[in-house]
Amino acid sequence: MFADVAIQKFSFPFTRAVKLSSEETVTQKGCTLVKSSELRELKDSPTVNKHSRATASRALVHNDNQKQDSTKLLPGADMAAGLVSVCDNASQCAVVSRQSICMSVKEESEDQRPAAKRQLSSESAARSITTVKKSAVRKEVDQPRQARSRVQPTPCAGKRKHRKDLFSSSEVFHRIDSHVIRTGLELKGKHVYDVKTIVHNITRESRDELERLRAIWVWLCHNIEYDVSGYLGRSERLSSLEEVIAAGRGVCCSYSNLCTEMCRELGIECQEVPGHSKGVGYRPGQSLRQVKSDHLWNAVFLGGQWLLLDACWGAGRVDMEHESFVRRFDDFYFLTDPEEFIDSHFPDEEKWQLLDTPITLEEFERRVFKTSAFFTLGLKLINPHHFHIVTDDGEANVSIGFSRPTTFTYEVMQHRDLLHCGVLEQKESSSSSFGILTVSHRSMNLQLLPPATGSYDCKVFARVEKASGPLVWVCSFTVECPAPRAMEVIPENPYLSWGMQPVAASLGVAGCSQSAEVAEVDKGVFDLVLKSSRPLMLLCELVHPQMEAAIAKRCLATQIQPDSLLCHVLCPFPGFYRLSVFVRDYEKSDMKFQNAANFLLHCKGKVCHLDELFPSNLGSACGPGTRTAEAGLSKFSHNASVVSIQQGKCNITFHNQRDLELHCTLSREESKAPALPLSRHLLCTYTDSKVTVSISLPEVGVYRLGLYARIGPGGEFSPMCDFVLRNSCALAGLPFPCIYSAWRKGCVLFEPRSGLLDPLSRVHFRVRVPGALRVSVVGETRTDLTLNKSRVWEGEAFTGDALQQLKLAASFGESSDMAVLMTFDTKQLESKD
C-alpha cells in the first residue's frame, strides 16, 4: 500500500544539500523508508490536499549506495531530475510521472552549468529531491507508472518498428504541420522566445506523443536556419536557446539542444547524439579516426523503442559556393530508419547506431553517400557498395535498382575535395559523353568511361518518371582512372538514358528487339523492331558526330504496322551513333511525339557507301502497314519496305478492296538527268480488285516507289506507303510504253511489254481493253487489231524508222474518234559506219 506523502510546491528555485540519517536508510532494493509518525503528520496536515498527496506518492528516493539499481535519468536533461521514493514496503514503490516538470535540489558543491548542457551525474541524481509542479501533473496521476527515462538504447520486444510502421506517409501530419507553421509565424510576430510557451502553443492540437514530437520537429525546421556565418567563424555563435530562437538561426547543436529542451517540456525522452556526418565540409576518402566528431542530432524514445531524427538536416542545406543557407524542408530526417541514417550519420557511441549489426568507422567512410532523395525515390544500390571506384580497362560500372519508373542522368567532372559542391539538380539533358547510361525494366546501369588518367567525381541524378521539375542529386562516387580506354566519340544523348525509356510502356511500346546494351552494327546495316500494344506513329532520329542532318535523313526508313514499328538504319561512317525513337498514338494527330527509346549503335566494320543510302524524299510510312490497311489495300506480295531486285525488274501486287483511284511514282537521287523519265519504267495494271505494279529499272541504284490513293471523290491523292527498291543488276531494264489517261481499270498489256521497239520490224501486239469497239496501232500506217475468243485484241504492226512513234488507240462508242491508250518509241537505227 502506498504512503500518502505531500511535498510543498515552491515558486522559486533553491539549492540545498540533503542528508539522510542512518535510521532513514534501508538497503533492500535501494529504497528509503519514512518513519510512520512522519507519514501520519503529513497525512493529517491540512495543507496537503488529495491531489498533492497523489503526486508525491509517485516520487522515489534512491539510496546513494544502490546507484546501479536506480532508475535512469532522462538523457540530456536541462533541469536535473532526482528521484524521491517513499514506500511502506521494500517491494512496493511508485514512480515519477514522465509528464512532471521538475525542479532539482542539488548539493551545494554542484556546478551550475548552462541550461543547454546541464545534466546530473549518477551520484548527484541519487541524492536529489524532485518537487513536482502541480500544474504539470496529468489527469491519470493516480495510476502508478514505470519511470520511462533511459539513456541506454535497449533491445525492443519483438521486431523493431520502421518509420512506415509508425505512420503511412507524412500526409497524416498535414493538420499538425499546418498548425505549427501558422502558430510559429504568430509567435515570431509577437516576439515570443520562451521555450515553454512555444511548446505549449505548437502542441495545442496534438493528440498523442507522436504528433507532439512532430510539432517540435516541424517548428525547428521552419523557424531555425543554419548559421553559416557562425559556422565559418565570421560571427559569434549564439549560445542560449532564447538567443537562437530570437535570431532564428543556429548551428547543429542549437537544433539538438532545442529539440531536447522542448521534448523535456513534454516529458518525451530525448537524447543528444554526437558523431560524424557527411555534411558540409566532408571530404570523401578522409580518415575520421583521429578527427573530433562534428555534428549533433537527437534520439527519442517513442512507442517502446529509440528513434532517430536530425532537425538541422531537415531544415535545409548549406550552399557553400554562395555561403548561404537554402531553406528546404526535408521530411526524410524525421524518425529516419537506422539502416538508412547510418549512411550519413555515424555516432560516437556504437549503441546509438541502433543497428542489430553495427558498422565500423572505416566502413562508414567507405560507404556511398546517398542523399535523402535516394531513399524517398525508393532506389536501391546494386553496385558498387563503396564510393571509391577504380576503372578496369578504362571502365567503371554503377547499377541502381528502382521500383517505379524513374528518369536518371549523371554528371562527371574533375575530382574536387568537398562532397557538397557543384550542382544539386539537373535539367532533362546531359552533355556528358564520358559514359553510357542505360535503363532496363527495374534497374539503371551506368558505364563510366573517363577520357583521361586522373580522378573524377560522378554524381547521379534521378526523378520519378512522370514528375515535373529537375532531376535531383541521389548519390555520388569517386572514380580513379589509371589508364583510359581508347574510345571513339560517343554522341550526346539529350534524352538522359540509353535503351527503352521507363515510360515506353505507357506510350504503347510493349517490347523491343534490341537491349539497352551497345548494338554492334554488321556491314553498316541495322534493323530495329518495336512491338506496340496499340496503333502508333513513329519518328526516328540518327546522330553521328561527323554526319550532317541531310545525310542522316537518308539513313532511315521506317515501317508502321498496327502491332509493330520497324526502323531500317544505314551507317555510312564508322563509330558510334545515337538512334532515338519517338512515338504518339496513331489517331491522335494533335499529340506531340514523345521519346520512347534511345539506342547506341557502334559500326566498326564495313560501312554503307553514300550511293547506297535511301532516297531523301522517303516518307515516314514505308511498306504495307496501318495506313494501307485503313485504305483497304491488302494482300501485298512484298510485306517488307525494302525490296532487293537482282534481275532489274519486279512486280509488286496487292488488292484494292475499296476500288480506290491509285497513282504510283518512281524516283531516285539523280546525279545526272536520265535519258527517259523514270515514270516510263513503271506500269500499273488493274484487274478486278487486284493491282500489279511492274517495275523495270534502268541502272544499279536505290529507288523510291511511291503509292498514292484518292480516298474521297474529288479529293487529293494521299500517300499510302513507299517502297525502297534496291537494284543490283547492271543490265539496263527497258522502259514501258508511255501511258495515257484512257488506259483504265481492266486494261492489260500482254505484249510488247517494252516501250522501246526495234525499227523496221514487225511487232506482235496483244492487249485487253474492256468496252472497246475497235483497237488499232497507228504509225506510218494504221493496223487494226482483232478481238479473239479470250476477249484479247491482237495483231502485227510495222514499226518503221525512228522518226515516228507507234500509238495504241481505242474507240469506245459510236463515234469514230479514238483515244490514245499508250505510245511506243522506236530505237535509233545503227549506223553502218
- pLDDT tens, residue by residue, 657-703: 998 999 999 999 876 777 789 999 999 999 888 999 999 999 999 99
Question: CA-CA distance, 295 to 275, in Å (whole number)?
Answer: 5
Mean pLDDT of 554-575: 95
For cell 582512372, name the residue. 481
Q: Do 785 and 814 reside in the same domain of the chain?
A: yes
For cell 518525451, name the residue. 268
Amino acid type, 57: S
Report the pLDDT value the prediction gives residue 90, as an integer from 0 to 100: 32
Q: Do 592 and 622 reside in the same domain of the chain?
A: no
Give Cβ neighbours of residue 435 (< 8 Å, ≥ 6 apart).
Answer: 410, 412, 446, 447, 448, 449, 458
Q: Do 226 and 343 reside in the same domain of the chain?
A: yes
Amino acid type, 622: C
Q: State residue 826 phi and psi, 5-degree precision.
A: -110, 135
Helix axes 252-266, 209-223, angle to 10 degrees: 150
Domain end residue (candidates: 558, 580, 603)? 603
* Model confidence pLDDT, tens digit, residues 486-523: 778 888 888 878 888 878 889 999 999 988 888 999 89
Amino acid type, 180: V
**105-114, 303-312, 456-465: range with highest mean pLDDT:** 303-312
* Model confidence pLDDT, tens digit, residues 392-412: 989 999 999 999 888 888 988
Q: Are 757 and 826 in contact (CB under 8 A)?
A: yes
Domain end residue (candidates: 423, 454, 481)? 481
Q: How far is CA 702 from each of CA 50, 663, 668, 726, rounded to the nearest angstrom?
A: 106, 20, 6, 5
Report the pLDDT value the prediction gives residue 284, as an integer from 0 to 100: 84
In a domain, 78, yes or no: no
* Model confidence pLDDT, tens digit, residues 347-369: 999 999 999 999 999 999 999 99
Average the pLDDT over each of 97-106, 183-192, 449-458, 476-485 and give the range with the smallest value.
Answer: 97-106
Q: Are 622 and 704 in contact (CB under 8 A)?
A: no
Q: Do 759 and 783 reside in the same domain of the chain?
A: yes
Query: Which of helix, strand or coil describes residue 470?
Result: coil
Q: Of all helices (H) and strands (E), which one includes residue 591? A: none
pLDDT > 90 fraction of the chain, expressed in percent and rounded: 56
**CATH code at position 223:** 3.10.620
The single-letter DSSP state of residue 31 is B
Q: Are 75 and 149 in contact (CB under 8 A)?
A: yes
Report the chain's C-alpha Rg in angstroms: 44
**CATH code at position 578:** 2.60.40.1220
In a domain, 121, yes or no: no
In a domain, 386, yes or no: yes
Domain end residue (candidates: 691, 717, 735)? 735
Q: Are 5 and 42 in contact (CB under 8 A)?
A: yes
176: β partners = none
Q: Do 823 and 794 reside in the same domain of the chain?
A: yes
Q: Of all helices (H) and strands (E), which one includes residue 50? A: helix 50-56
Q: Which cell goes with 293? A: 566528431
Amino acid type, 516: A
Q: Do 279 and 298 reside in the same domain of the chain?
A: yes
- Indicate the pLDDT class of residue 309, thresholds 50, 70 and 90: very high
- Indicate the pLDDT class of residue 373, thresholds 50, 70 and 90: very high
Question: CA-CA distance, 436 to 438, in Å (whole number)?
Answer: 6
Q: Which domain holds residue 708?
A: 615-735
**CATH code at position 659:** 2.60.40.10
Mean pLDDT of 641-667: 93
The answer, yes or no, to whether residue 33 has pLDDT greater than 60, is no
Q: Do 446 and 589 reside in the same domain of the chain?
A: no
Report the pLDDT value the prediction gives residue 160, as an integer from 0 to 100: 84
Average the pLDDT over each of 20-29, 225-234, 246-255, 555-564 and give the range with the smallest value.
Answer: 20-29
Angle at 206 between CA 201 and CA 211, to 5 degrees: 115
**Nearest partner of 799 among 746, 774, 745, 763, judged by Cα:** 763
Cis peptide before 153 (omega within 30 of 0): no
In a domain, 22, yes or no: no
Report the pLDDT value the prediction gives residue 154, as an integer from 0 to 100: 56
In a domain, 658, yes or no: yes
pLDDT > 70 fraction of the chain, expressed in percent and rounded: 78
Question: CA-CA distance, 207 to 229, in Å (whole number)?
Answer: 38
Question: CA-CA distance, 282 to 418, in Å (whole number)?
Answer: 6
Report the pLDDT value the prediction gives residue 406, as an integer from 0 to 100: 87
In whole numbers, what is the pLDDT of the chain averaged over residues?
80
Question: CA-CA distance, 277 to 25, in Å (whole number)?
Answer: 48
Query: Beta strands of 107-177 (E only): which ranges?
Result: 129-132
Query: Which of helix, strand or coil describes residue 86?
Result: coil
Give Cβ neighbours of residue 795 (< 8 Å, ≥ 6 apart).
Answer: 764, 765, 777, 783, 784, 785, 786
Question: CA-CA distance, 530 to 557, in Å (whole number)?
Answer: 14
Strands 388-390 and 471-481, how do they pair?
parallel
- In the chain, the number of structural domains is 5
Mean pLDDT of 363-391: 94
For cell 503526486, name the residue. 55
In a domain, 84, yes or no: no
Report the pLDDT value the prediction gives residue 439, as an integer from 0 to 100: 82
Q: Do 261 and 312 reside in the same domain of the chain?
A: yes
Q: How far is CA 76 from each of CA 195, 610, 663, rounded to the nearest angstrom?
A: 16, 79, 90
In a domain, 53, yes or no: no
Report the pLDDT value the prediction gives residue 424, as an integer from 0 to 100: 63
Q: Do 171 and 307 reside in the same domain of the chain?
A: yes
Q: Do 327 and 401 reside in the same domain of the chain?
A: no
Report the pLDDT value the prediction gives residue 104, as an integer from 0 to 100: 35
538: β partners = 583
| Chain centroid, CA 140 distance in Å | 51
In a domain, 803, yes or no: yes
* Model confidence pLDDT, tens digit, residues 417-463: 776 665 566 655 554 568 888 887 788 999 998 989 999 999 999 99
Q: Which cell goes with 379? A: 532506389
Q: Do 695 and 753 reside in the same domain of the chain?
A: no
Q: Do 779 and 729 reside in the same domain of the chain?
A: no
Question: CA-CA distance, 253 to 311, in Å (whole number)?
Answer: 10
